[in-house]
Amino acid sequence: MLLSQTSENDADSLMRALLVPSPVGGVYARTGLFERVVEGLAFFISRLRDPETEVLRFPPVMSRTELERSGYLHSFPHLLGGVSCLKGSEATIRAVVEQPDWVEELSATELVLSPAACYPVYPLVASRGPLPASGVVVDVASDCFRHESTCEIGRFQSFRMREFVCLGTPDQVLDFRSRWLLLGQRVAKQLGLDHRIAPASDPFFGRAGRLAAMSQLEQSLKFELLIALRSEEEPTACMSFNCHRDHFSTVWPLRTGNGDKAHTGCVAFGMDRLVLALFKTHGLDLAKWPAGVREHLSI
């Protein structure tokens, strides 16, 4: 009992030192100390990029139509956030905002908040025509939003995701994922983070979702790199290694050079979770972090 109270307090004081709460749970301002490590980590990940990788940085919003077509509403409607605005003449809008229930008058726009950094990549690459024989790897990042139902340490509503996305033949995608499963563990080791890899499934919605999650596990489509951020018993996913098979080429005309449906996969880094794990492991005083870790993070 005493032990779990202590670790709860540790987690609380870690959060207080690094993140400034807002009136909304799971939404924080980040301190300079926290951001220094986020920047170092981003740079460290960039150095792992293959030379021919294309780099794209997305804004925190994306096309609603594209996200609908990708099947997100079927799989994760409970996590989605949309962008809504007031429409009409100046007089109409003025009258609306003077009412206490002005929120009822909001209407959807063509934008949603990106729930993961990689969604905009698939239609974008598909629009360029067939893939080159070597496949395509894209380095993407964006602020992401998920309407999470809890806000324990490491579970934010707004957080940063960095990903490498591979589009190619089934073999190219499987090779990419196997390579990143090893590289991800090497990254964690170089940063002094205790971790383990585990098969995983996505938080699919509803009863049909539970079947989708089981089939994802059976087919080994998702692995996570877990770190004991909140507790040893319930470790936190700080990276994920995903294989989508032909899901995105069923939705978008993504084809390999010989006209076959392309496969896709991605490796995702939860930047805020990884940085919390670094502070939890090495403490709040950067000067006391192991020299090797500081060197990798350029701090």
State the nearest-atom distance from the C-beta of 222 to ligand ATP, in Å.
7
Q: Which stretch binds ligand ATP (CB under 6 A): 63-71, 173-181, 213-221, 231-239?
A: 231-239
**Among residues 64, 146, 230, 282, which is the contact residue for ligand ATP, using CB under 6 A?**
146
Which 219-258 residues touch Mg ion, going by CB under 5 A? 237
Burial, 118: exposed, middle or buried (Cβ in 10 Å; 0-12, 13-18, 19+)?
Answer: buried
- Per-residue exposure over 98-108, b if at least 16 CB sit within 10 Å of its own CB, e if not: eeeeeeebeee
C-alpha span between 56 and 48 (Å, rounded)? 16
Sketch the per residue contact string, 268 through 287, with ligand ATP: x for CB under 6 A, - otherwise: x-x-xx--------------
For residue 280, what is the enclosing H or E element?
helix 271-282
Handedness of CA 78, 271, 229, 286 (dihedral sign): negative
212 Cβ contact list (under 8 Å, min separation 6): 75, 201, 202, 204
Sketch the per residue contact string, 172 through 211, with ligand ATP: x for CB under 6 A, - otherwise: ------------------------------xx--------
Closest residue by Cα to residue 117 from 199, 239, 275, 235: 239
Which 174-203 residues touch Mg ion, going by CB under 5 A? 200
State the nearest-atom distance from the C-beta of 185 to ligand ATP, in Å.
14
221/229 with CB nearer Zn ion: 221
Query: Which does residue 238 touch among ligand ATP, Mg ion, Zn ion, none (CB within 5 to 8 A, set by kind)?
Result: ligand ATP
Q: Which stretch binds ligand ATP (CB under 6 A): 14-22, 28-36, 38-46, 236-244?
A: 236-244
Cα–Cα distances in angstroms (integers) from residue 255 to residues 53, 129, 135, 136, 252, in the given order? 19, 7, 10, 11, 9
The string of DSSP codes covering 47-64 is TTS-TT-EEEE--SEEEH
247/255 with CB nearer ligand ATP: 247
Residue 190: count of CB within 10 angstroms of its CB: 14
CA dihedral of residues 21, 25, 26, 28 (deg, nearest 10): -20
233 Cβ contact list (under 8 Å, min separation 6): none
120/209 with CB nearer Zn ion: 120
Sketch the per residue contact string, 100 through 119, with ligand ATP: x for CB under 6 A, - otherwise: ----------------x---
Q: How many residues make contact with Mg ion (CB under 5 A)?
A: 2
**Among residues 126, 138, 155, 221, which is the contact residue for ligand ATP, using CB under 6 A?**
155
Query: Which does residue 161 touch among Mg ion, Zn ion, ligand ATP, none (CB within 5 to 8 A, set by kind)?
Result: ligand ATP
Burial, 51: exposed, middle or buried (Cβ in 10 Å; 0-12, 13-18, 19+)?
Answer: exposed
State the nearest-atom distance from the C-beta of 142 to ligand ATP, in Å.
11
Binding residues for Mg ion, rule: CB under 5 A, are: 200, 237
Binding residues for ligand ATP, rule: CB under 6 A, are: 116, 146, 148, 154-156, 159, 161, 202-203, 224, 237-240, 268, 270, 272-273
